[in-house]
Amino acid sequence: MGGRSAERDISLQTGRAISETLQKTGYQVCSIEVEKDLATKLREEKIEVVFIALHGKYGEDGSVQGMMEIMEIPYTGSGVLASALAMNKMASKKIFQYHHLPTPGYKTITKSDLSKNAYSSDFGFPLIIKPLKEGSSIGVSIVRKESKLKAAFDLAFQYDREIIMERYIAGREIQVGILENRPLGAIEILPREEFYNYQAKYIPGRARHIFPAPLSKEKYAEALDLGIKAHQALGCEGATRTDLILDDNSFYYLLEVNTLPGMTNNSLLPEIARGVNINFNDLVEKILNGARLKA
């Protein structure tokens, strides 16, 4: 848990919740805050199975997963390739498009593009600017007019060397929880912010959650279907969460798949699981039992 990404604090909350639960269940648990000496710590502690509670770069992008494969230590969640694909918003969108899954239009931008003024938008305004490989809505902006583009670029480039410009889709925020290769359910998020940003995700009271999402039977089933199709298209395993937008014409757009969803008191996957009678202890143990080497 912890790690070196911008999501370190949330990862620590996730890690502590998981560690406490596993200890209460009777497992022998060693909590490791990830630094550069991770491999040494794993050897010294004689770790048998790794429960990955990291978020963001170096933890959710296939990096740590690759280390586990080399060290031959079974680990939870998705493998190296699925983790890397899901973390890279351009790569995952290309996979979605290949599988004919609906996703908003986009283009990627580098600092070199900015210097050449080669970043004109084909989508009009508003549009979304976000880092290519970051989570928890960190560095994300909704840009409603051209004069605000530079500030959005500057913010996103603080977190990545490449960013993504995405067509803005107005609509309802629907998220689907996946466990053991099947959809658990769909939840609707009603943020009190401009969108479901970092504050809305992690500060109590900044977003209202409705489970099950108040959709027609057909649209609910469609959300679950898109969620599992996205999970499978990327080759994910274990517990994931798929983010969707349902626009004003009742058309779904697939945004991304989170391969290591938060497990804090305010997190969506545990809330979805509770809604289908899977308590937190059971959820954590099910994820643990899915640990294995994937290579």
Radius of gyration of the chain (CA): 19
3-state secondary structure of 172: strand
Query: Rounded to an integer, what distance in angstroms lies between the CA atom of residue 27 and that of residue 126?
Result: 50
Q: Of residues 202, 238, 252, 266, which has the active-site annotation?
A: 202
Annotated active-site residue in 241, 252, 266, 267: 241
Catalytic residue among 136, 197, 266, 267: 136
Judge contact between 130 and 172, C-beta under 8 A: no
The answer to whether residue 136 is catalytic is yes
d(CA 66, CA 291): 14
Catalytic site includes residue 258: yes
Catalytic residue among 2, 5, 7, 15: 7
Q: Is 19 a catalytic residue?
A: no
What is the total residue count of the chain?
295
Catalytic residue among 61, 141, 256, 266: 256
* CB neighbours of residue 172 within 10 Å: 18
C-alpha span between 31 and 192 (Å, rounded): 34
Say whether 8 is catalytic.
Answer: no
Q: Look up 279 and say whether it is catalytic.
A: no
Handedness of CA 81, 153, 168, 172 (dihedral sign): positive
Q: Of 83, 258, 266, 267, which is the active-site residue? A: 258
Pair 197, 288: CB distance under 8 Å: no
Closest to 38 in 3D by CA, of 63, 14, 57, 21: 63
7 is catalytic: yes
Among 166, 188, 262, 266, the active-site one is: 262
Query: 262 catalytic, yes or no?
Result: yes
Catalytic annotation, pick one of 243, 252, 253, 266: 243
Catalytic residues: 7, 136, 202, 241, 243, 256, 258, 262
